Homo-oligomer: A and B are copies of this chain.
């Protein structure tokens, strides 16, 4: 098994005991073997097949995007600045209805290319034609948490077929690509799935021993509808249906009461906070400081490019650190270190990969990125965590490794053909426009 070593780098580990230092890190196969301050020992150097010079680079765990719909990258810039129902009914849904497996493949490949280039090594994706997303994940080298998102506003027959599709996909892909791919079960949202249908997903999740991912309380309107239809707010509704008896991650969670926050904390439900999408669609501002205070695991997601409009997780990290200060009037909430944890270690915890990724320490998967610090916006060298959160962007990412394999070298993709992807994605878009 190949063993190699990085020296002369700065490391932001996300470990509390040793957060930032200048030093070295050894990788063996798919795992981080060891790391330490200063110079590696002569023995460590001798036992390495290769030594990588980390000068001018800052190494940190690969970022974790905990909510998205990769294929929708085909709709970047197609419709912006519209009222939600107009946007959905007249732009998104008609286009998405036309998506073939081929469109999903190239849209997801476009997303994978963008994610790797901007430093994401793990992404959660909820969509349709998920076999094609699985192919992209396998080929790209990314770590992926994949789930067939199912809308249940249809006949019982179609409901059954969709549930079966979700189950088959999860069985086929959970543990695929040397374990890089894991699966979840996803009823799309409380307002798009009748309660008895959600119950079937909970049952399947128990049988398959998988977590559940769903949208929850993105808009005030859907919360009000939930109260009208079921007499309770969405978190209590999902809890009653047993969704939180599984490990669960809910996307958005913008409109929550104190009671709902306490319930999520009590049940160990993680949240995927999508600040840019929530602003762009005017959904509102999630109560992130209160959730963190209550002990809820808050991770970060981009949502799809149609409401973002990029997949640069550095932006979500920065937005999480900025937005809640301004809205609460308290400049000490979501400090830089906490925002970076939301994009790394909390992300891993949220998608069931705690102890595998999101932290640089021995025994963890070698999922990490190198950011170039030879740029004006990294000067002076005061606090690299601050610089990563408040000054950096995905464009500063120079190299990326996932599962011990290099996916990006000097800004160039190694596992995907970027030029082909851009060409095919453009062609898909033009076909969809007709």
Residues of B within 8 A of A113 (CB): 376
- In the complex, are the beta carbons of A422 and B379 less than 8 A apart? yes
Residues of B within 8 A of A395 (CB): 393, 395-396
Query: A329 contacts the other chain (Cβ, under 8 Å)?
Result: yes
Interface pick from A28-36, A72-80, A137-145, A226-234 = A72-80
Q: Given contacts A326-B284, A380-B429, A426-B380, is CB(A390)–CB(B279) below 8 Å?
A: no
Residues of B within 8 A of A285 (CB): 326-327
- In the complex, are the beta carbons of B391 and A310 less than 8 A apart? yes
Interface string of A315-328 (1 = CB under 8 A from B): 00000011101111
Query: Can you add 4 more A-B contacts, CB < 8 Å, to A73-B379, A279-B326, A380-B429?
Result: A77-B382, A279-B327, A282-B326, A393-B394
Query: A84 contacts the other chain (Cβ, under 8 Å)?
Result: yes
Query: A370 contacts the other chain (Cβ, under 8 Å)?
Result: no
Query: A206 contacts the other chain (Cβ, under 8 Å)?
Result: no
Query: A335 contacts the other chain (Cβ, under 8 Å)?
Result: yes
Query: A178 contacts the other chain (Cβ, under 8 Å)?
Result: no
A87 to B325, CA, bound (A): 14
Query: A280 contacts the other chain (Cβ, under 8 Å)?
Result: yes
- In the complex, are the beta carbons of B77 and A376 less than 8 A apart? no
Closest CB pairs A-B (n = 5): A395-B395, A279-B326, A77-B382, A380-B429, A309-B390
Query: Which of A117, A282, A376, A429 has the most B CB atoms < 10 Å from its CB?
Result: A376
- In the complex, are the beta carbons of B326 and A391 less than 8 A apart? no
Query: A332 contacts the other chain (Cβ, under 8 Å)?
Result: yes
The quantity of this chain's copies bound in the complex is 2
Query: A421 contacts the other chain (Cβ, under 8 Å)?
Result: yes
Query: How many Å from the CB of A83 to the closest CB on chain B?
Result: 6
Residues of B within 8 A of A77 (CB): 380, 382-384, 386-387, 390-391
Query: How many Å from the CB of A220 to the closest CB on chain B?
Result: 8
A interface residues, how many (CB within 8 angstroms): 70
Residues of B within 8 A of A223 (CB): none
Q: Given contacts A391-B309, A396-B395, is CB(A278)–CB(B80) below 8 Å?
A: no
Query: A374 contacts the other chain (Cβ, under 8 Å)?
Result: yes
Residues of B within 8 A of A278 (CB): 326
Query: A245 contacts the other chain (Cβ, under 8 Å)?
Result: no
Residues of B within 8 A of A394 (CB): 393
Query: A331 contacts the other chain (Cβ, under 8 Å)?
Result: yes
Q: Given contacts A393-B312, A393-B395, is CB(A80)–CB(B386) below 8 Å?
A: yes
Q: 14 A-B residue contacts at CB 8 Å? A: A74-B380, A76-B386, A81-B332, A87-B331, A114-B377, A280-B322, A281-B325, A312-B393, A376-B421, A379-B422, A379-B425, A379-B426, A380-B430, A395-B395
Query: A82 contacts the other chain (Cβ, under 8 Å)?
Result: yes
